[in-house]
Amino acid sequence: MEFTEYMARGRPALTRFAMVLTCQGWLAEDVVSNVLCRAYEQWERISRMSEPHAYVRRMVVNEYLSWRRQLKRTSPRAEIEPRGLDDGADQRAERDAMIERLASLPRKQRAAVVLRYYVGLTDAEIAVELSCRVSTVRSQISRALATLRIDLTTDPRTLQETK
Amino acid sequence: MTDLRSLDAAFAELERRADDLPPGQFTPQPKSRLVPIAAAVAVVAGLAVTATTLLPEGEPAVQVGSPTATSASTQPPTSPPPTSPSAVKPPAAETPEDLADRFRAVLGDTATFTISETGFGTSISTAPPPGQKITGPLPTRYAGASFIGTLTAGGVTGGFDLLMHPEGKLANGGGCGVEPPPECRVANLPDGSILGIWDMRLETKGGITYGVDRVRPDGVVVGIHVSNISSPKGNGTKLAPRPPLTLDQVIAIISSDRW
């Protein structure tokens, strides 16, 4: 696959992923742009991989977790502040509150939650992505869910999984 | 308490906001304008900041800092930090040894340091002309010098990194980049240099890193990070409750005329 073809296919999904991960548009764009710039230079090698997109997505995670990004303490900006309430106000309020809580998570916790519940990776796969132990992943997700005020026992998917 | 449906709704809303973002600036075949990519990425085993810029029509791109694993140490400084201005500035250090000599002269008796890794200060890659396929790594040359290690002052030891190279541009926003992030404060020096001043709290380990990047009018860049963590990236061991130097001291060091 040519890089330009990957760009056309993969960039929207990468930007969405980065947006969910960072909760900030400017940072999502920044992370994706920088990752694509580096992927561009390494594309001959990346394109030969069995799953180039998974590799580039991992680059996004690493970029987000990398030191300078880590130093830049991201704080909620206007774009994640609650928007106007009209029809469906309660749902919007709850959704925006959830986004704010998501944005307030420490980065590794947020990355673990996004990889688990947005990407759908297993704990073991997340451990590989984040270069940590499975027990650490579970701990990160558990703490994150507490901060997000999510009770898995009330979730239909959880009930289905436990049947 | 809520359930995962709220999280799904949040993800969906963030996706929608991502779709509303303006088209990205990156293009593998740059056309007619500079494509700055405000970047700061971790370099494997490396230091400092990586600033990547892809330039159009076969112009060079710059990537800063990537030391290789070597080892060295320095002797304690003996001369005081200079304060007098000078009209003519020396070019950027071309070797880690040269950079270490200058750093030692600038520090004077303020601090001592050891070096654990050294490397180049910047790499300059040439982008292909529009329409040309990428068939291998971009042609790259290297300039300047960098190193990381530990720095001790007033009985306190912390991690630091330092780089110097000649490929900066004031037009690119000085030390804070084209679009300064909230954590970067810009200051100007009488010689026309622009400082980017970073006061950063690490998310983990109670770490603090002070960073100052200076871009001189002649394009020479000097950048330093000083932390109470063994690596100013924020990784490694916490060595002290606070960095070995204050932010004002770090600013004074980078503002020195002895570089």
Q: Looking at chain A, which residue has its C-alpha nearest residue B208?
A: A71
> How far is the CA of B16 from the CAs of A16, A54, A112, B7, in angstroms?
8, 22, 21, 14
Q: What mean pLDDT is predicted for residues B80-104?
A: 76
Q: Looking at chain B, which residue has its C-alpha nearest residue A104?
A: B203
A101 in the same domain as A64? no
Least confidently predicted of B34-48, B104-118, B185-199, B211-225: B34-48
Q: Is A120 inside any structural domain?
A: yes
| pLDDT tens digits, one per residue of A94-132 | 888 999 899 889 888 999 999 999 999 999 999 988 888
Domain count, chain A: 2
CATH number at residue A141: 1.10.10.10
Q: In terms of DSSP bridges, do strands B112-126 and B52-54 run parallel, antiparallel, or are they unpaired?
A: unpaired
Contact A98 B2 (CB under 8 A): yes
Q: Is A4 inside any structural domain?
A: yes
Contact B13 A95 (CB under 8 A): yes
Q: Has residue B227 got a pLDDT over 60? A: yes
| pLDDT tens digits, one per residue of B34-70 | 222 222 222 222 233 333 333 333 444 444 444 443 3
A59 in the same domain as A20? yes
What is the spatial distance between Cα B104 and Cα B82, in angstroms, rounded to a whole number? 11
Q: How confident is the model at residue B200 (pLDDT cuts 50, 70, 90)?
A: confident
Compute the nearest-CA separation of B52 from chain A (Å).
7
CATH number at residue A33: 1.10.1740
Q: Which of B183, B228, B132, B72 is nearest to A3 (CA)?
A: B132
B237 touches B202 (CB < 8 A):
no
Q: Is A13 inside any structural domain?
A: yes
Contacts of residue B22, defined as CB under 8 A and 6 or more positions apart, other chains included, come to: none
A69 in the same domain as A1? yes
- List the domain range (segments joined by +) for residue A134: 97-163
- Given B4, B14, B41, which is nearest A99 (Cβ)? B14
Q: Is A47 inside any structural domain?
A: yes
A160 in the same domain as A104? yes
| DSSP classification of residue B238 | B
B117 touches B45 (CB < 8 A):
yes
pLDDT score for B234: 61
Contact B1 A70 (CB under 8 A): no
Residue A15, chain B, CB below 8 Å: the answer is: yes
